[in-house]
Structure 1
């Protein structure tokens, strides 16, 4: 938990420094790179969570066969996704109003490493090797922070290219320490048909859910980048970064929740006490952040980003509220995901699409964009609570 807090703090510092150094317009492109990494994380987290779950359930030959499969497909899918980014770099520049298409090419080259890193982390997470898991997060975060800052001060290139380089190289450093020796092109051991079916079902379920998370958590930044001018997009990116601090911290609890719930379910023990504990933590954290954002918005924005971003002060508490509702809903969703429950995935998907539709039709101002998210997140939390009540009461 301490390591995750440090990593989240470092990633937060990374974005804050970029915002201060680059200004709103250039920061919009830098934030887009970070957002694209988060968008692709729906695949990366699918690999990580699947590996973590079956690290608990499989052993001996079945575990080795499973690892070989996960590493091989992570590399194949990573190369395919990276190639798409490189091939469509020009089109992506037009869609997102960026300064250069080369940023997408550089970013695409790092995608295969990111997916391999995700499988490696899932192995450590599921086996509860938290020291090694912590180190992989530390090496990725510090390399991205230090390399990007060094490049910004010494390399005469557009900032978006330097940010993309920093992200690509950080995925390489994130493989330290690595269990990647299990990557083999020729399958020497095989999963039983029953286990293969379990893995396939969980991968599909997790991928669908992670995709809904990405839609909910990042579609607003992408749509604002498309609909608004670069300066407004940069201002909104700063607002999103501050408002999402609760989500970054909540992810720390999700990392601990999933293996704990899987293990208790496997042992035939009650799992709801674990859920209530983490929901309580996130709710307390969320309330604190929303209140601080309501009472001291100008102070928070000026301290973190500077006076250039002060126009976003009035929206800060509302964005923090939307993110808090999402973070609490997320705890319920991952709880059911660890128990192979499908309905929360469908609920999140429907509300994720509804949020996109609301923003597409209501984006006359950034205020409308934020309020559309609040409406969608209230509906999501209510539906998750109703589902939980029906399953447990």
Structure 2
């Protein structure tokens, strides 16, 4: 035991969080794989829809998390206290409003996505406010570099969802969609641990100064815009396939998406470390580009490896993860992994620019996100065409992000040279 304690003390909080994030991603993957095997392609379509809605919720929650992260670095003392209370208030009010919307239109959602019942949407709706409060918690931990608590909240959410969902599916004779929704809702309760609500007053009278509040609202608005593009790019394909194709095809496509997205989930782990690091370096006047290059190198190398493995052994991967019932989709695995890899790398660029208050890439991502939806709506003769449309959109997105970085970097260097010339002429 003493040897384990000594080893843990030598591990930096960042490395501990990265290890935890890998475990969480592995647990979430296991959750989806077990659902696919237990339910089969047709029933898995509804389960995958709920998982997709959870991902949509996580992107919206990321707006609260990233805003809290950024200003946890920038604000201190009374300004930080006022900001913290403000974020919890925003999260709670927005969560209740969103939950009421989903509850009200649960029947319409059932018809739109061809699900077995509306009750799974109703259960999901009730838990939405908890998720946004949890997101503010995570932003506090991330911004203050408390990676131990940040890792713990992801662990409690993941393990509770995994264990409770399968306990319900195995023990309770209800519609699977309802039980999966209940498991997800309960996991949000567990995800609130650990929390530190000491000193939090949601309806406190202390207000942020007008200049600070404006800064917060600008960042929230632009981050929300970018997260919306993330939702569109990352989830619109599954939602559109669920709408246009039958349950079997939708279930097959969901299994393909789950395997192909492994790159994106690992990239997310690096984004969690990238943002506070870049913001702090900018605040200290240090160069930020080396941080970007490091993470692009990691994700680019990992993406190349995964696409190559998916190209060489698609049947083996599909059989091991989901079983023979899903083999008809195997030939598309490497193509979907390629589309996701392109998105993951461009995503690193986008979050880097967002950290530096440069918002043009947000607009670029939005345009490409909507173009992906338009392409799939126009061309969806079969699942292969859907994947091809995504590859086209993601190639254009990555090229656009690279061009923006090159132009921005070259203009910045020109500005530095002019300053040097001015300085030398004055001496």
Per the shorter chain, which TM-score range? over 0.9
Counterpart check, 1:339 vs 2:353: no
Q: Distance in 1 between matches of 2:181 and 2:259?
A: 22
State the alpha-carbon separation in 2 of the partners of residues 53 and 143 from structure 1.
29
1:64 — aligned with what?
81
Unmatched tracts of structure 2, length 5 or more: 1-17, 411-427
Once the two structures are TM-superposed, the CA of residue 182 in structure 1 deviates from its matched residue by 4.5
Deviates more, 1:70-79 or 1:176-185: 176-185
Alignment check: 8 A CA contact 1:261 1:274 kept = yes
User: In structure 2, what is the equivalent of residue 227 of structure 1?
Assistant: 244
Query: Matches of 2:196 and 2:342 in 1, distance apart?
Result: 36
Residue 165 (structure 2) aligns with: 148
Partner of 1:291: 308
Question: How large is the RMSD of aligned CA atoms in angstroms?
Answer: 0.7
Q: Is the 8 A contact 1:143 1:173 kept in 2?
A: yes
Q: Aligned equivalents of 2:346 and 2:42: distance in 1?
A: 33
Asked if the contact 1:42–1:213 (Cα under 8 Å) also holds between the matched residues in 2, the reply is yes
Note if 1:28 corresponds to 2:74: no
Match of 1:249 in 2: 266
Q: What is the TM-score with the length of structure 1 in the denominator? A: 0.99
What is residue 239 of structure 1 aligned with on the other side?
256
1:175 aligns with 2:184: no
**Alpha-carbon deviations, 1:172-218, whole Å to 9, x = none?**
10000112344424323221122111111100010000000110000
C-alpha distance in 1 between matches for 2:261 and 2:100:
30
1:265 aligns with 2:279: no
1:32 Cα shift? 0.4
Deviation at 1:373, TM superposition (A): 0.1
1:74-110 deviation line (CA, Å, top 9, x unaligned): 0111011111111111110000000010000000011
Gaps of 5+ in 1: none
Query: Deviation of residue 345 (structure 1)?
Result: 0.4
- Provide the C-alpha distance between the structure 2 equivalents of 1:143 and 1:260, rounded to a whole number of angstroms: 30
2:99 maps to 82
The total of aligned residue pairs comes to 393
Contact 1:71 1:180 survives alignment (8 Å):
no
Match of 2:220 among 203, 216, 225: 203
Q: Is the 8 A contact 2:88 2:202 kept in 1?
A: no
Contact 2:89–2:203 (CA<8 Å) still a contact in 1?
A: no
Change (3 A) 1:206 1:244: same
Rounded to whole Å, the distance in 1 between the matches of 2:130 and 2:28 is 19
Residues 298 and 313 of structure 1 are in contact (CA less than 8 Å); yes or no, is this contact kept in structure 2?
yes
